[in-house]
Structure 1
Amino acid sequence: MNEREGPLVKAFVELADTLVADYDLIELTQRLVDDCVGLLGVDAAGLLLAAPDDGLQVLASTTEQARLLELFQVQSEAGPCLLAYRSGVGVLVDDLTVEPERWPAFARRALADGFRAVCALPLRLRQERIGALNLFSTTAGALSSQDILVGQALADVATIGILHQRAATRSETINRQLQTALNTRIIIEQAKGMLAERGGLDMDQAFGQLRGYARANHLRLTDLARAVVEGTAEIGELLDGTAP
């Protein structure tokens, strides 16, 4: 634990900064999944958030594979992340080849993508549940109890931030903001696709290019993605990193 004390403190400080400085749900959740991969030694992470209509939607992921696997869980209505959300309890799967019949379709898809183990953690505060966090590993084996505690603590920080914002604003306004965030995610996916096609990149590389450019030039990720889709941002500049 001592080796990652510094990175762990930094992760919590940056999450807090995201909440205080300029509340951006997309950036908050993306930072959460990125931190989980960096701190917990997992290979990918994804986050599902409950939409105003009570359905679950993919809001953040560290790789395109993880995003599609999360989306597959939602569409098939079965998987560890959905169970964690519905039960409010963490779901640990040390080896997907053992008892694959528990979630047969999910197990087949995850194994085909190269994932052998999953840890799903709820985003919850007391009795309220707003989503779930999935941690994927390419090797079989359980996360340590310390890793699970850290993962749940990171998820709890994000949960508290989202719920605090809800408490500070009227319910219909928050629902509109949440729907806007979910719609924005669609715009980000469109921008990724445009960059990938123009630059000959895969979707993960395209997202890295988009996010890296936004950070380097102090732009909001959502604003930059919208500019790409609307044609007001020069894609060539994004691909070569030229400042605006």
Structure 2
Amino acid sequence: MLDLLHDLTAYAVDLGQVTSAGVTVLDEGGHVDYLTASDEVCARLEEDQLDLDEGPCVDAARTGSMLQPVVLEPSGPALDRWPRFTPRAVAAGFTCVAAVPLRIRGLSLGSLNLLQAGPDTISHEDLQLAQLLADATGSRLHHRQTLLARDEVIAQLTTALQSRIVIEQAKGMLAARLGTDAEDAFQRMRALARSQQRKLIDLARQIAQGTSRPRSTGRADMPGNTADTGPIDAPPPREDLTRVLTRAHQAVRAGDGPASALPADIAALFGLDALTLNALTQDGLPELLWADPVQGPGVNLDAFQYSVGDGPTWQAAQQGRMVLETDLDTVEPARWPLFLTAAADADIRAIVAHPLQVGSATVAVLTGYRTTPGPLTPDHIVALNHLARILLLAMITQFTLPANGTIADDGLRLHHAEVHQATGYLAGALGISVGEALLRLRAHAAADGPISDLARGFLTRRLSPDTLQA
């Protein structure tokens, strides 16, 4: 089904006069989800609309009706209608949007969304052609799923959504192997699938499982890139993991934070001993916001990485792609000279660091730690991708700044709050900038850490600011 819908976006671009096209659908809970797109730029913009809960694809999927062409401008009706989506679409180079419903015998499943870049708007003829293509696709879907009820159709689409996650994962893995970006990796993967007359999802699943390393993609071994899903050594995911994440996604969409939406032992469901979420500050520092469990090796190793600027969380943040090491004993010491020692002291043997991105910008990193070596299962990695999207949505919806200047605490909180307080204190006491104060604090913690204890020592006046005099 996913291949059929992706072909729909390709035909809309190739036969019409539009730049990009994407498909959004309604899931079992009536929520709008992005399914596929003609290119990576369109895919990112479609996902942005879901996170913002506004935009043409959201409107079209929910109403099930045709959206006439809307001109995108920095000011005007489009900005009034979609105040957060419009600036992003304009920044991406798009000048006009439209959409047509995707239906099976009158049942609206979602929409085919059209985006145009350049001076020309989407014409009436383009819109009619897109509707014809969408209707033809709907007929083919109906032929494949004869007499299926609405819930069964949506269940099939839910499976397709999971397939889409596998494709996204394969793009990331292939991009890491080739040292390229996701768009180039996707185009190579699609070209190889066509040349071998294979379904895209079948090839993507093999890549994600580590059983397909196609030479025709031009793979180049990257220094230090040992990510491999390999044999399945980790315990398989529990049956209820998908259900847990689905409920969590719905809860976060309703405004709940991770503390309410996720079970306290979510890391164990992934076969991990700890999971942490670090948002990236304006200066590129990883700011710990959430952890499961709330104390232990995950929190401690994140604090260590914050102090020394070394480790997998930093690498994922800087490179914008997943870091997966199945046995830290085999990693070259020069890669993470400080982190590896700290990880060994904490009995951590395997790690995974998953960047969370808005557009092409990495805004956070989800890091997993495990005390036993061996790869995650492909299902675990797919589920980790789902959890990353849930936490990204939670960041967008939960990051409010009340009058007291603190982040609302429903699972997302500043774990380094005392560090920031100590930084301000030291800057004032020593007559230096806060940037310089933080550098000195981190340097001192790298030698004598942990940084939270050091910060608390200054705040309680147990330590003198003169301790950090240059």
| TM-score, normalising length: structure 1 | 0.81
Q: 1:152 aligns with which of 101, 120, 131?
A: 131
Aligned mates of 1:143, 1:116 — CA distance in 2: 9
Aligned partner of 1:115: which letter?
F
Runs of at least 5 residues in structure 2 that lack an aligned partner in the other structure: 220-470
- The answer to whether the aligner puts 1:101 opposite 2:77 as a matched pair is no
**Bigger relative contact order, structure 1 or 2, given CA contacts below 8 A and separation 6+?**
1
1:26 pairs with 2:2: yes
The 2-side partners of 1:225 and 1:126 are apart by 31
- What residue number does 1:115 align with? 94
Residue 67 of structure 1 corresponds to: 43
- The answer for the alignment partner of 2:191 in structure 1 is 212
2:218 alignment counterpart: 240
Q: Work out whether 1:227 is the aligned partner of 2:203.
A: no
Higher Cα radius of gyration: 2
Alpha-carbon shift at residue 171 of structure 1 (Å): 6.0
**Distance of 1:140 and 1:119 partners within structure 2:** 15
Match of 1:16 in 2: none
Of the candidates 75, 79, 99, which is equivalent to residue 55 of structure 2? 79
> Deviations along 1:169-194, whole A, 9 cap, x unmatched?
46665444322211111000000011
Residue 166 of structure 1 and its aligned partner are, at CA, apart by 3.8
Letter in 2 for 1:90: M
SS in 1 for 2:109: strand
Give deviations 1:83-119, integer Å, cap 9, x for gaps.
2223332223442113211111110110111111111
**Structure 2 counterpart of 1:239, which letter?**
T
**1-structure distance, mates of 2:142, 2:133:** 14
1:142 maps to a residue whose letter is T
Counterpart code for 2:100:
L
Sort the Cα spacing of 1:84 and 1:169 in 2 relative to 1 into closer, same or farther, 3 A.
closer
Residues in 2 aligned to 1:65 and 1:222: alpha-carbon distance in whole angstroms: 20
Structure 1 residues 119, 174: CA separation in 2 closer, same or farther (over 3 Å shift)? closer
Cα distance, 1:149 vs structure 2: 0.8
Alignment map for 1:38-49 (pairs within 5 Å): 38-49=14-25
State which drifts further: 164-173 or 38-47.
164-173
- Relative to structure 1, the CA distance from residue 132 to residue 231 in structure 2 (aligned partners, 3 Å threshold; closer, same or farther) is same
| Contact 1:85–1:122 under 8 Å retained in 2 | yes
Percentage of identical aligned residues: 35
The answer on whether the counterparts of 1:81 and 1:121 sit within 8 Å (CA) in structure 2 is: no
Match of 2:382 in 1: none
State the distance in 1 between where 2:153 and 2:111 align.
19
In the alignment, what sits opposite 2:66? 90
Deviation at 1:126, TM superposition (A): 6.3
Q: Distance in 1 between matches of 2:33 and 2:117?
A: 24
Aligned-pair Cα RMSD in Å: 2.1
C-alpha distance after superposition, 1:31-78 (max 9, x if no partner): 110111111121111110222232222111111111111111122221
Residues 130 and 159, structure 1, Cα contact 8 Å, conserved in 2: no
Count of residues in Structure 1 that have an aligned counterpart in Structure 2: 216
Decide which moves more: 174-183 or 94-103: 174-183
Structure 1 residues not aligned, in runs of 5+: 1-24
